[in-house]
Structures are given as C-alpha cells and as structure tokens.
Amino acid sequence: MPELPEVEITARRLDAALRGAQIESALAPGINALKTFDPPLSDLAGRAITGVGRRGKQLVVEVAGDLVLLVHLMSAGRLQLFDKRAGPRDRTSRLLVRLADGRELRLREFGTKQAAWVKLLRADELDDEEMIATLGPEAWPQPPANLRELLDAPRPLHSMLRDQRVIAGIGRSWVDEILWTARLSPFKRGDDLDDDEAAALAAAIATILDAALEHYERVVTLPIPDKLPMPLQIHRRAGEPCPRCGAPIEAVHYEDYVMCYCPTEQTAGKVLKDRRLSRLLK
Ligand SMILES: [Zn+2]
C-alpha cells in the first residue's frame, strides 16, 4: 500500500538512477494501464528522462521535450528499475520503459486487481490533471501550517487524514501510526480538535513521516523491493501490546482494510467494534 514515504523513497532512488537515461521504447502490455492516447506512448522513444518526482501518492517521471508520465500505484503497484528486460511471462507488468543502456523501468502490480494507471501528458497539462489539481497540501516535509482549519469539518480524523483532497500523502497504514503517536481517537471529529490536539497531530505527522523516510533511506535499494519493509508499530498489530502502555492493540475491520488503535491511550478505554459506527468512517 504505497503512501507518501514509500512513493517518496521510490522517487528519490529512481531520480538518482534515471536522470539523463535515454528511452529506447515504451509499451503498456496486457490490459491497458495507459489512460491517455495523445501524445502516444511512442513519443517517448529517443528522449531522455530528466527527473523523477512525487505529488501526493503519485509518481511523476519527467521526460525531455516537456512530457511527463504520471503514475498512480494504487494499492498494489510498484515502479521498479531493473538491469534487464522482463521476460515474456511476466504478468505483473503494466508499463515497460526500455532504456538504451539495457535497463528497464517497469510498473508492476501484484494481486488480482488491475488498478494502477499511467498517463502520458504534456508537462503544462500536469497541474490541470484531476488527480493533481484536487490534491490538498502535502503532509511532508512540513505538515500544512493551517492543519486545524483544513480539518475543521464534522468528519472523523481517520477518514479526513486519508482524504487526498484535504491533505496529500497519508493512507491507511500511516494514519494509524500518526493518530497513535498523537494519542487521538480515530473517531474524533476534525472540528472537535483543540489547539493542543491540533499541535500534537501536526507534530505526529512530521515525526512519523520523517522516521519512515529515514528508515527507507537506510534499507531501500534499487530495483525497489516488491514488499517495502514498513516500520509500523500499530497498524496490522491487533492483539499485540501497545509499545507505549502495553495494553492490547484493538482493531476495527472494514471490507478491505483494518484500523488499529490503542484503546487505553486513544479512546479512553472504549473498544470500538460497532459495524454501524464503522460505516461512518468510509
Ligand atoms: Zn497504548
């Protein structure tokens, strides 16, 4: 589930490795992950990659001649750089960018869903692209100074912090870590935050995302692993002792994810398992 730290480390590693690399050809095999047709993918041939960056949870590969590849990994995609080309049996590939030096940049997707996508855009179209234009301010390197105003709505924090239109970069994994660090209930409403709580939340966003990136700087190397070693303490740790107070971590299960929290420190001892309440979070 790539979120801001996972996408940021991917962008850093690819940027360092790909600047100046010449593209020989590009293709989108199998079911088409490519969501645009003009300019055509063949326009990439013969051009150089000039940089790789990140916007929210999306990757932006910049190409000479004012072209950009916008890549959304969704829940199970990876953008990886290999020394050799994929064999014909590789069914995980959604996009292959073959480089003149023999390397290959590959968008791969694991699991049964095919959701990851790519758009080839002219550079001046990027900011108008819906997934970019609707992004809220970036959660990192500095949480937005107006965080409290951004969250000033009658919606649970767990939902608002994952809403890319409110704040960009946080998803289902890191939201659990952030709320636990700030000792805030996932169900607390954004418009219920007082000054101290808003300050604790901003500090937790910075601490958690910084620590994740420092960890990835130490352990993540190319080609970018299929499974990133996420340094999570709370998320997906239901039943284990809270690292701070020792109480068992509780979980609320949803259709396609799980929310974890410490009842002692975050919900005044309340264990939240009510499915009707659960639905409010979606
Ligand atoms: Zn605890």
Give per-residue pLDDT as tens, 61-106: 999 999 999 999 999 999 999 999 887 778 899 999 999 999 999 9
The pLDDT assigned to 93 comes to 92
State the average pLDDT over residues 106-135. 94
Closest to 129 (Cα-Cα) out of 144, 118, 139, 142: 118
Is a pLDDT exceeding 50 seen at residue 152? Answer: yes
Distance 135 CA to ligand 1 centre (A): 32
Per-residue confidence (pLDDT) for residue 102, from 0 to 100: 97
What's the CA-to-centroid distance between 207 and ligand 1, angstroms?
Answer: 18
Query: What is the CA(58)–ligand 1 centre distance, in A?
Result: 33
Mean pLDDT, the chain, whole residue set: 94
Residue 216 Cα to ligand 1 middle (Å): 25
Tokens standing for residue 141: 């390197």
Whether 273 has a pLDDT exceeding 80, the answer reads: no
Note the pLDDT of residue 236: 94
User: Cα separation of 104 and 85, whole Å?
Assistant: 6
Checking if the pLDDT of 259 tops 60, the result is: yes
Q: How far apart are CA 226 and CA 247, in angstroms?
A: 33
What pLDDT does residue 275 have? 57
Burial of 219 (0-12, 13-18, 19+ CB in 10 A): exposed
Position 281 scores a pLDDT of 54
Question: In sequence order, what are the residues at sequence separation of 6 or more whose Cβ sits closer than 8 angstroms to the Cβ of residue 108?
Answer: 77, 78, 80, 90, 92, 93, 94, 226
Tell me what percent of the residues of the chain surpass a pLDDT of 90. 88
- Single out the residue of 8, 50, 18 nearest to residue 171, CA to CA: 8
pLDDT band at 272 (very low <50, low <70, confident <90, very high): confident
pLDDT band at 161 (very low <50, low <70, confident <90, very high): very high
What pLDDT is attached to residue 32? 80
* Residue 196 alpha carbon to ligand 1 centre in Å: 19
Q: Is the pLDDT of residue 50 over 80?
A: yes
Cα 272 → chain centroid: 27
- Return the pLDDT at 111: 84
The contacts of residue 282 (CB under 8 Å, 6+ apart) are 159, 254
Q: What is the mean pLDDT of residues 42-62?
A: 98
Tell me the CA–centroid distance for residue 132 and ligand 1, in Å.
37
Predicted structure pTM score: 0.94
**Of residues 274 and 232, more confidently modeled:** 232
Query: At residue 276, does pLDDT exceed 60?
Result: no
CA of 281 to the centre of ligand 1 (A): 22
Question: 169 pLDDT band (50/70/90 cuts)?
Answer: very high
User: How many Å separate Cα 106 from the centre of its chain?
Assistant: 18
The reported pLDDT for the residue numbered 213 is 98
Ligand 1 geometric centre to CA of 66 (Å): 50
Neighbours of 3 (CB within 10 A): 22
Backbone angles phi, psi at 131, to 5 degrees: -65, -20
Peptide bond into 223 cis (omega under 30): yes
Identify the weakest region by mean pLDDT among 69-78, 159-168, 192-201, 266-275.
Answer: 266-275
Å from CA of 241 to ligand 1 middle? 8
Neighbouring residues of 114: CB distance < 8 A, sequence distance ≥ 6: 31, 33, 94
What is residue 274's predicted lDDT score, i.e. its pLDDT?
Answer: 53
